[in-house]
Structure 1
Amino acid sequence: MSEAHGRSGILLIDKPAGITSHDVVARTRKRAGTRKVGHAGTLDPMATGLLVLGINNSTRLLTSLVGLDKEYFATIRLGSATNTDDADGEPIEVAEPGRVDALTAAAVSAALVPLTGAIRQVPSSVSAIRVDGKRAYTLAREGEIVELAARSVTVSALEVLGSRREAHFYDLDVRVRCSSGTYIRAIARDLGAALGVGGHLTALRRSMIGPFSVADAADLESLDVAAALIAPAAIAAALFPVFALDAEQAVDLGHGKRLVAERPEGLPGPVAAIAPDGRLVGLLEFTAGIGKPIVNFAPDVLTEPEVGE
């Protein structure tokens, strides 16, 4: 029996290009010997970088990870727009070579300003947003015109790291730090539109999700789930203030009882309740000296691999 079977935790995976996030989940299920694998946000097949997966009981932690800020490194090609806003799509607009050749770094910098900060962004038409029960990308691929409403996002950093001219295109290497729900493809599209030459992504790599870095992620091809699995308590402690339970409190909380205690100092929001043995027992919310369980995490039960895994 693999040491990973029945264990819960979080995996940081460095997704390679050319496969879907669902493919990563499917492969991880086989490696972990469980079907209980979820993710905290997908990447397009073209994109690489950090995927956060939850195993077994830790899939319940993923909702706390989905809304974290993210960092990306991307390449934007100015001079051509595609129907998917990235290199996987078909060109729908190619600018006159002279217009692209005339672009300057100053003009690009000026066009980036309205795309930075708290903005209203229209998601890409091939996003995973649901429209009348279907994913937008499914409708777009069926030939339907998809119109999505603008949504509020925050782009806290949009930095040009380098640029170069390829034929009659102008390529920008950028770093983006943004809130959850921001579409980097939409930034490329909107930058190209603002400059009047069209734009799309040719490369995208997610480097961070909240405090978690792709530098700490495991390679998918050589993934050893047991070795790479991060304990739920370690993840919760990186996200929330910690309440150190005594043995009696750990038992009480595991039975759904409330705690009479003062909230530990730290950021507002949930508190990670951790038992003396280092196990994450639950997440609490505190009101007037009472800690109430938001979600509890049952102890792991080691099992044999699931049938078919």
Structure 2
Amino acid sequence: MVAPGILLVDKPDGLTSHDVVARVRRAFGTRKVGHAGTLDPMATGLLVIGIEGATRLLTYVVGADKTYLATIRLGQSTDTDDAEGEITASADAAAVQAVTTQQIASGIETLSGEISQVPSAVSAIKVDGRRAYDRVRAGEQVELKARAVTVSRFEVLAERRDEGFVDLDVVVDCSSGTYIRALARDLGSLLGIGGHLTALRRTRIGPFPVEGAATVDELADATTVTPAVAAAQIMQPLVVSADHARDLRHGKRLAGAASQLDGAHAAAIDPDGELVGIVEKRGRDLKSAMNMPENGQ
């Protein structure tokens, strides 16, 4: 029997997130595998993988904030807003070189904080039941609605200038649902010279860093984080008695226990260190929002 757990994987360039899930399934000998947040094939970095019953925890990871390292090329636009697309426009070299470091900083400031962002048309967002990128590849015009996102950090680490473009190495801390490709596109648009993403690496999802994550070649020997340990990193841990653990597993509320929660949810952990499930407030009581299967499956 495969033990439930959370696995951190460092995805390489060229593989899809689905490719990584397929390799984890083979390595662990189970079909019950999922991930919290897709990475494009050109992107590298952290995938949070759930195995067996721990897939139920992924719901609480998907919405976590994230950190990315990226390279933005100013001076060229592409039809995918990244390097995998066709170049649709190239700015005049003199116009590119006329853009100052201060103007770049001002553009980045405009794209920081709480902003309204139109996702890239070549994205996994569904439009009338079909992925936007499938519609684009079929030759359809796709216009996605703007969404509110938060960019809490957008910092230039290095700036390199060539005759026809400016490359920026940046670090971005952002809310779930933020498209770094769209930041590259919009920065280039603000500066009047176009822009796209040439490299992307996700280094953090919520409390989980990419450091120490397994590579795809290490999956056979990779170790997982237990559901209890993982859940306690995502949210407040709440140790419950054996009786209360049994009540929660049977769908009963814990009367008058809501005051024990600091936030909206907590990870209920029994005296043996096993994750009972995720609890939430319901008036003055606590009730289960998600129960872990008792056999781990």
- Structure 1 letter corresponding to 2:196: H
- Residue 298 of structure 1 corresponds to which residue in structure 2? 293
Residues 197-242 of structure 1 show CA distances to partners (whole Å, capped at 9, x for unaligned) of 11000000001111110013111111236x4211000111112222
Residues in 1 aligned to 2:216 and 2:135: alpha-carbon distance in whole angstroms: 31
* Cα distance change on mapping 1:288 and 1:148 into 2, 3 Å: closer
Secondary structure of 2:218's partner? Answer: coil
Query: Matched residue of 1:228: which SS?
Result: coil
8 Å Cα contact 1:241-1:265 kept in structure 2: no
Verify: 1:254 aligned to 2:273, yes or no: no
Cα distance in 2 between the residues matched to 1:286 and 1:138: 41
**Equivalences for residues 153-192 of structure 1 within 5 A:** 153-192=149-188
**Equivalent AA in structure 1 for residue 161 of structure 2:** R
3-state SS of paired residue (2:3): coil
Deviations 1:239-291 (A, max 9, x none): 22222122222222222222235246554111111111111011111334422
Assess, with a 3 A threshold, how the Cα gap between structure 1 residues 300 and 6 changes in structure 2: closer, same or farther: farther
Q: The residue matched to 1:35 in structure 2 has which SS?
A: coil
SS in 1 for 2:178: coil
| Alignment match, 2:277 | 282
Question: For structure 1, which segment, 101-110 or 292-301, has the greater mean C-alpha deviation from structure 2 after superposition?
Answer: 292-301
Q: Within the alignment, does 1:235 sit opposite 2:227 as a pair?
A: no
Displacement of 1:133 in angstroms is 1.1
2:39 to 19, 33, 43: 43
On the 8 A contact 1:240/1:267 being kept in 2, the answer is: no
- Which deviates further from its counterpart, 89-98 or 162-171? 162-171
SS at match of 1:205: strand
Q: 2 CA distance for matches of 1:61 and 1:253?
A: 17
Q: Which 5+ residue runs of structure 1 have no aligned equivalent? A: 303-309
Q: Please tell me whether the aligned partners of residues 273 and 281 of structure 1 are also in contact (alpha carbons under 8 angstroms).
A: yes
Q: Tell me the residue number matched to 1:97.
A: 93
Q: How many angstroms apart in 2 are the aligned matches of 1:234 and 1:37?
A: 18
1:116 to 106, 112, 115: 112
Paired residues of 2:97 and 2:163 also in contact (CA < 8 A): no
Letter in structure 1 aligned against 2:43 = A
For 2:220 and 2:250, locate their aligned partners in 1 and report how far apart those are by CA, in whole Å.
34
Q: 2: CA distance between counterparts of 1:233 and 1:222?
A: 24
- Quick check: 254-263 or 238-247, which moved more? 254-263
CA distance in 2, matches of 1:250, 1:301: 15
Rate the CA distance shift 1:151–1:288 in 2: closer, same or farther, 3 A: closer
Asked if the contact 1:10/1:55 (under 8 Å) is kept, the reply is: yes
The equivalent residue for 1:307 is none
- Aligned counterpart, 2:194: 198
1:56-95 mapped onto 2 (5 Å cutoff):
56-95=52-91
Question: Residue 124 of structure 1 contacts residue 185 of structure 1 at CA under 8 Å; is this kept in 2?
Answer: yes
The structural deviation recorded for 1:166 is: 3.1
1:72-96 per-position Cα deviation (integer Å, ceiling 9, x unaligned): 0000000100000000000000111
Deviation at 1:187, TM superposition (A): 0.3
The equivalent position to 1:273 in structure 2, one of 268, 273, 277, is 268
- The gaps in structure 2 that reach 5 residues or longer are none
Paired with 1:268 and 1:246, the residues of 2 have a C-alpha distance of 20
